[in-house]
Amino acid sequence: MAEPRSPAPVPPNPASLSSEGPMAVEMDPVEYTLRKRLPRKLPKRRNDVYVNMKTDFKAQLARCQKLLDGGGAGGHREICIHGLGLAINRAINIALQLQASSQGALQLAANTSTVELVDDLEPEDPDGEAGEPITRTRNNSAIHIKVFYPAPQSS
In the chain, the domains with their CATH numbers are: 46-125+141-155 (3.30.110.20)
Tens of pLDDT, residue by residue over 45-72, are 888 999 999 999 999 999 999 999 875 5
The DSSP result for 49-116, as a single string, is EEE-SSS-HHHHHHHHHHHHHT-SS---SEEEEEEETTHHHHHHHHHHHHHHHTTT--EEEEEEEEEE
User: Is a pLDDT exceeding 70 seen at residue 79?
Assistant: yes
Predicted TM-score (pTM) of the model is 0.69
